[in-house]
Amino acid sequence: MRSQRVLFLAALMLLGAAVFCSTEKPVIVQGVQNISVEDYKYDSGESVILKFSLSPDDTLSQGNPVKYYRILIKRGWLEEDEKINPDDFREIQNITSTAIAKSRLSEALRKDKSVKEKFRYPFLDDVNGEKRTYCLRLKNLKQFFLNPIENNIAYYRYIVDEYKVATDISKEEKKSEIKKIWAEIIKMNKELKTLRKELNKDLKLTVTVVAESAEGIKTFSHLYQTFEPKVEAVNLDKLSVFIVSIAFVILLLIIYQMTKMGKEFYVRPIAGLSAVEEAVGRATEMGRPVLYIGGLSGISDIATLASINILGQIAKKVAIYETPLIVPAYDPIVYSVMREVVREAYIDVGKPEAFQEENIFYLTSEQFAYAAGVNGIMVRERPATIFHMGMFFAESLLMSETGNQVGAIQIAGTDAVTQIPFFITSCDYTLIGEELYAASAYLSKEPLLLSTLKAQDYGKLAIMVGIILGIVLELLGVTLLTQILQNIPE
């Protein structure tokens, strides 16, 4: 009986020990090491590059206890002896541990071999070729501190909208509630303005990184870094672009001056532009209108400006013959400018009475609605001549093919490389790339304007020489030119 009791007790102890051993202890991981911050150059002072050495526990060989790194940030700098108080910090970003990222990546690669190389190692080399340093860009730092207030304002505005459509409260109640919320919104807006001013004045920050285990236990390394993003006055990365631009400006002005002094330059004929006169004449003979499509881009696009310049020249020719000119515009601002340009062209050739204002009109700013509208005009009005000049997108073929089907003579010009083949296929003449920009000068036949075309040609010649020189130097093992050209930012 006694031995039975001893056995029972021993079994109980064993069971207890087994239960005790099987209870998982929370894994406390080691924190990160060596946090450093570098300024992100040539931005508006809102980005930095954060680097930190990985936690020693961030490795697959140790069962990968680190799951995340949480990057915490606070406004102001910590004093030298000041200890980190986690409650003062806010999380700006969290990233998966490199070990987990690696295992996920190998899984992804098993499924899809096309996973790009750049996603493979989002961390830097450290000692002995082992990748143990994480490097990432913290951007929009100002916005990070503004976001909570902006989100609150957006939420309160949403509540106002909800009150407006609510049916279960009286009108008076609605009004008073909406008034209260608006008062809050105004208060928050003031707060936002003050904070924005403060951040613009001073953006001193402190950053720390916390390693977190799979169980969610966070380890503060008690390392932190204070920093203040800098704003550089001049972007030295673009110095080469600046020098080339200045050189081109000087070249253009020299050629312009030479033309002014009487020097004549030969300008190569462009078939599409030589045909403009013939195209307008054809419309006059047939008694049908000319349709001018100025592209689907805004006024800030240079292609649109070039298109407006061409419209001015074409409008003059059309006005002389008193042929109707239809101009459906895509953008409201472009419409206003185009209308004035056409009106002035009619006045300029002494035919103000022939100007029909209702023919220069705004159509729509929706891409395919515009294409449908223009196609409708083509089918109904049967224009004898159609110009497509400016920036075009996927609708280019829809419009030019319809123009082809109605039997119009079509002249297109665009710098959208992807649309050029469509225009070549369906139009009679196509101005490729830079010819669009040359068109206005070519049509005006003014020597001073034509001189700028010569400057463009010399610019292209310089590029060609640069390419050939680069190839020769590269073959000779001199890489200086290639390095300079490769450093030009996009």
What token pair was written down for 178? Answer: 């909406």
Give the nearest distance from C-beta 476 to other proteins in angstroms: 23
Q: Give the β-pairing of 205-213 and 225-227.
A: antiparallel
Q: What are phi and psi of 212, to 5 degrees?
A: -130, 135
Rounded-to-integer distance, Cα 422 and Cα 424, Å: 5
- Select 110 or 380, whichever has its Cβ closest to other proteins: 380
Give the nearest distance from C-beta 123 to other proteins in angstroms: 28
Give the nearest distance from C-beta 80 to other proteins in angstroms: 30
Rounded-to-integer distance, Cα 64 and Cα 73, Å: 26
Give the nearest distance from C-beta 456 to other proteins in angstroms: 5
Which of 124, 137, 134 is closest to 93 using CA atoms?
A: 137
- Select 65 or 403, whichever has its Cβ closest to other proteins: 403
Residue 267 three-state SS = coil
- Select 152 or 240, whichever has its Cβ closest to other proteins: 240
Is residue 101 within 8 Å of residue 122, measured between CB atoms? yes
Looking at residue 478, its amino acid is V
Give the nearest distance from C-beta 410 to other proteins in angstroms: 13
- Select 124 or 166, whichever has its Cβ closest to other proteins: 166
- Select 36 or 365, whichever has its Cβ closest to other proteins: 365
Q: Give the list of residues 6+ apart from residue 444 with CB closer than 8 angstroms, or none.
A: 313
What token pair was written down for 7? Answer: 């056995």
Scored b (16 or more CB within 10 A) or e, 370-409 reads bbbbbbebbeebebbbbbbbbbbeebbbbbbebbbebebb
Is residue 333 within 8 Å of residue 300, measured between CB atoms? no
Rounded-to-integer distance, Cα 74 and Cα 208, Å: 9
Give the nearest distance from C-beta 437 to other proteins in angstroms: 3
- Select 278 or 348, whichever has its Cβ closest to other proteins: 348
- Select 213 or 309, whichever has its Cβ closest to other proteins: 309
Looking at residue 423, its amino acid is F
- Select 18 or 488, whichever has its Cβ closest to other proteins: 488
Rounded-to-integer distance, Cα 208 and Cα 220, Å: 8
Give the nearest distance from C-beta 186 to other proteins in angstroms: 21
Give the nearest distance from C-beta 370 to other proteins in angstroms: 9
